[in-house]
A = this chain, B = another copy of it.
Amino acid sequence: MTTGVRRRMGVEERRQQLIGVALELFSQRSPDDVSIDEIAAAAGISRPLVYHYFPGKLSLYEAALKRAADDLAGRFVEPQEGPLGVRLLRVMRRFFDFVDEHGPGFAALMRGGPAVGSSATNALIDSVRQAAYDQILSHLGIANPPARLELVVRSWISLAESTALIWLDGRRIPRGELEAQLVHDFAALAAVSAAYDEEMGALMRVMLRDEPADGPFADLVGRLIALAS
């Protein structure tokens, strides 16, 4: 009966099932260490049948990565309500959820390597970075950012990636602390830029206008003043 049900799976349904099974395996171990045989066994089908749907491991990997990329980009979406710092903190929580769920696969992907360094995978990574960048600008309400704001946002995105990768390597710092720290890092990098550029200074004042006295930005400023004195 089970076999009968399986046989009736449509082509697209079977492809989606295989992608799900592969993504789970690629998330748990470095993709180089996952074989088509394992994927076939986990999906309950034969190795030749996997090749019927995907010409090779790379194409299955790219399909799994596409699903993970769409998933991650979806987690960046946040209602445009309330203080900016609180919004960013919620996104950071969902980002670390994702990193937690896909740890070894995320690390292998971001560090590059034989199976994961193709042009297609690099283009996917860039598309997720772009989605993060677009979301942040949209929350800031800025359509045409000056070069210095673009630099702050893009370089902070790479800081968030590297912070997550370092966290995965031993998990020696509680992730909740790093989620808050990345929100503060964003404010700090913007403040450094604003300290030396008038246009960034004006943008910074607008950004912080609606931050509450008990929000993450105000908390940071209070602590920094205490640290400096």
Q: Which residues of A contact B (CB under 8 A)?
A: 111-114, 117-119, 122, 147-148, 150-151, 154-155, 158-159, 161-163, 166-167, 170, 172-173, 177-178, 180-181, 184-185, 188-189, 191-196, 201, 204, 220-221, 223-224, 226-228
Please give, as numbers and ranges, the residues of chain B lying within 8 Å of A155 by CB-CB distance.
159, 162-163, 166
Name the residue on B nearest A129 (C-beta). B162
Please give, as numbers and ranges, the residues of chain B lying within 8 Å of A224 by CB-CB distance.
191-192, 195, 224
Q: Judging by beta carbons under 8 Å apart, are A185 and B192 in contact? A: yes
Majority SS at the chain A contact face: helix
Q: Judging by beta carbons under 8 Å apart, are B195 and A227 in contact? A: yes
Please give, as numbers and ranges, the residues of chain B lying within 8 Å of A177 by CB-CB distance.
196
Query: A185 CA to B147 CA in the complex, in Å?
Result: 17
Q: Judging by beta carbons under 8 Å apart, are B191 and A227 in contact? A: yes
Partner of A162, one of B111, B154, B173, B221: B154
Name the residue on B nearest A146 (C-beta). B172
4 smallest beta-carbon distances between A and B, as pairs: A117-B117, A195-B223, A158-B162, A147-B172
Whole-angstrom distance between the Cβ of A134 and the nearest chain B Cβ: 16
Q: Judging by beta carbons under 8 Å apart, are A195 and B166 in contact? A: no
Whole-angstrom distance between the Cβ of A213 and the nearest chain B Cβ: 14
Partner of A166, one of B111, B119, B151: B151
Q: Judging by beta carbons under 8 Å apart, are B201 and A192 in contact? A: no
Q: Judging by beta carbons under 8 Å apart, are B227 and A201 in contact? A: yes
Given contacts A122-B111, A122-B112, contact A192 B184 (CB under 8 A): yes
Query: A102 CA to B111 CA in the complex, in Å?
Result: 22
